[in-house]
Chains A and B, each alone.
Chain A
Amino acid sequence: MLLGLAALAILPFSAAAQQAGGDVLIKNATVMTASRGTLENTDILIRGGKIARIGKNLPAGTARVIDATGKFVTPGIIDAHSHTMMDAVNEGTLSVTSMTRIRDVLDPKDVAIYRGLAGGVTAALLLHGSANAIGGQSSTVKFKYGRPVEEFVVEGAPTGIKFAMGENPKRANFTIPGQPPRYPRTRMGVLEVMRDAFVRARDYKRSWDDFRAGKTRVPPRRDMELEPIVEILEGKRLVHAHGYRSDEQLNLLRLAEEFGFRVGTLQHGLEAFKFAPEIAKHGAGVSIFIDSWSYKLEGYDATPYNAYMLWKAGVNVSINSDSNERMRRLNLDAAKAMKYGGVPEQDALKMITLNPAIQLGIGNRTGSIDQNKDADIVIWSEHPFSPYAHPEITMIEGVVYFDRKADIERRGLLAKEREELEKLDINKAPGSGGAAPRIPTERVRGDIGHIEDSDIDDHD
């Protein structure tokens, strides 16, 4: 009995549903497409993980039917700034750590993934922290909780990298105990570190070009630090740049233009409204908090109207969480974009679905409910912008990864499993003696409020 229970528990809760796989027909829902308005009493047929048909009274055929009468359906939420499922956030020792890869430290068992699914999140941009001017290589994942780690990574998604400007990389306001002071200590120094990296990368690329052209005999050293920076210069890697102040973010856009590439996203961008036309002209996206401000000096000029003003200027805006906790309420953050300035409903929804998908370079396959897109879908108990709404089913590529009903049913099984496990000798606490027990404190990993991943937390 115990073995049976344990085996069951090791599988993700929705294993049965996952294994069922196959075709699904979501029946009679209010479908918020995020691209073509809201469709009432509409069915969605999912075949092979893709949205095969959208329409009324679709025949089920062999498909499993989910009755969504009275429910709302949206595309899965995409969080364009997350540190979920990462066993490390910052390599804060150097000012350029482009050789590091978030892909190397993904933890597919992080329960925050499941909690994200329970909040309707299906994909995220996992970013290195902001401890340095040029951070590590990012990872674009779908939250396929329970699946092997490699299946999380969105195949074919453009690669990315974290940049950071301002207080966190310059570290003028704090030191890390035991760590030597690190160049740069000023905003201009941060920009210089970036420029220097681009110049070095350009030289590095030239050394390889020369070798390939037969001009040199000895192959250059493969430099894991400079290779991703060459990719930026070649337009193959997206820069996701943490920053607050408009002056330095504008400087970054100019630096990018000087080196001939386009910045992927300005992250945080609490002052982005101040130079929205310049951002629109450059073509960068902006990924923001909807209503957080004044939590640090750089955040004093923030306004919840930021999203509205950027939207109005034609900038692709996404609303992110930067937090395992806030990730679960991004639907309400989108709703606030309607309140502050009056962004239309669909455009507000886009800020947590299609817009981040476009920013991540996966807008052609997810982010909206359109034919032939991945069936990354959330079925909500009511309108997702209601504070009472909660996801009932969250699916990725047609596979159910969160099912509220199944979750509630499973709680009893888990309690029983725990009871059985605690009876085992190997799990019994020693009767007496030994050190006094330590009261566990919650492990903080990536979930650093949304005080945007300054690196102190990664080193405690």
Chain B
Amino acid sequence: MKWEKNKNTATDFLLSFFIITACITIMEAVIGTIFMPGERFGFEAFFSPPLFGFLSALSSVVTFSRRQLSAGAMAVRLFLQLAMIEAMVLLVNFFFGNWELFTAPMILTLILGIALIFCVVYLVMWLNERRISRLFNERLLEFQKEVQLRNEERLKNQEAWGGR
């Protein structure tokens, strides 16, 4: 059971990592094209999307809890996770990026872009879980019918035995 739980956590982590990395790549390209069209970067810039993707996916640890969380508590944790990611991206750019090139509209676009990616990631994962739920529900009906048939068969045999 522990291995299954870890396997699921790892799968979810990888799924969100790849979605986030893809979205960050697109967002950086859009923001760069709009606000810094003249800038040129070396190959080290390719490390930026997967690095942010990894740190963002890691931030989902905030939503884990041993206790069962209410919908409200979960919403608060999700907001905290988003706030953490926004702070992380802005701080990394402040300390290691070309912060002097960042204008107010660019920062606002960046913040909104991060929030959009956050929503996209959870939407994709929710759609995947909805697909799994549909498959499960179809199979559940068949499963219940099979069990019912087996029970009816068993009852018939018991009654036949009881009549002898």
Tell whether A and B belong to one assembly.
Answer: no
A residues sitting closer than 8 Å to B (CB atoms) are none
